[in-house]
Amino acid sequence: MLMSSRQFENIAFIASSTEESENARRKFAHRFGSAPPDHADVIVALGGDGLMLQVLHRYMNSGIPIYGMNCGSVGFLMNEFREEDLYERLLAAETTVLHPLHMKATTANGEVHEAKAINEISIYRQTAQAAKLEISIDGKSRMQELICDGVLVATPAGSTAYNLSAHGPILPIDSPLLALTPISPFRPRHWRGALLPNSAKVKISIREALKRPINAVADHTEIRSVHEVEICEDSQTNCQIMFDPDHGWAERILTEQFRY
């Protein structure tokens, strides 16, 4: 989806805390000015993937697209950093709309916590004891006992992050799927997870929760000592991320599948 020049009269620049990112922000702001992010036509994020996730969370449902340039160590969500041709790159960039996951986690004392995740929601053991989990999909128990370090549910955007490190599948960015991936499964030892429709409602019930305490993490939000976690895609919430057309997200994900 191409965007018109009228949308880029007000550009906001947000940098991570590194000296490299802050120097880049000052140079761009001197050249283009720097609008307040809440009133910008586009936000340029200067840093790594961590900064991009923070900015995407902060401006969900704002309608403001985010264009990242990599000044960090990891930059799968970012474009190549270049000081020249920024305005032209913004005009040519392609925009992808992302829908986050929604997590509802109930703790041992009955408290309910909710959070959203652009990459993944992960449930993992809090102590040396392995986790014992029951997995239900759309109200039906599909695995009554999974003994493991944990399990995660990843979006297509997050399928190349923690999910890939846990040997989960890479999903095309426009696929209507979620990846359900175990983390170091012990029993059943050879279970490698499942692909779910993005309409699926996943419930993870923790067995022996007091003996085997579990944490639940939605991107940067961590809830400790949970007894039950419900996960689904939030189709009513969206955020927009922009990529250069010669290295868009579909191309990145395809390239990642042929790395060796």
Residues annotated as catalytic (active site), given as ranges? 49
| 10 annotated ligand binder | no
CB 50 within 8 A of CB 72: yes
Q: Is 98 a known ligand-binding residue? A: no
Question: Does the annotation flag 9 for ligand binding?
Answer: no
Q: Is 248 flagged in the annotation as binding?
A: no
Determine whether the annotation assigns residue 119 to a binding site.
Answer: yes
What is the per-residue burial (b if ≥16 Cβ within 10 Å, else e) of 65-77? bbbbbbbbeebbb
41 annotated binding-site participant: no
Q: Does the annotation place 157 within a ligand binding site?
A: yes
The answer to the question of whether 165 is labelled as a binding residue is yes
Annotated binding site: 49-50, 119-120, 149, 157, 160-165
Annotated binding site for NAD(+): 49-50, 119-120, 149, 157, 160-165
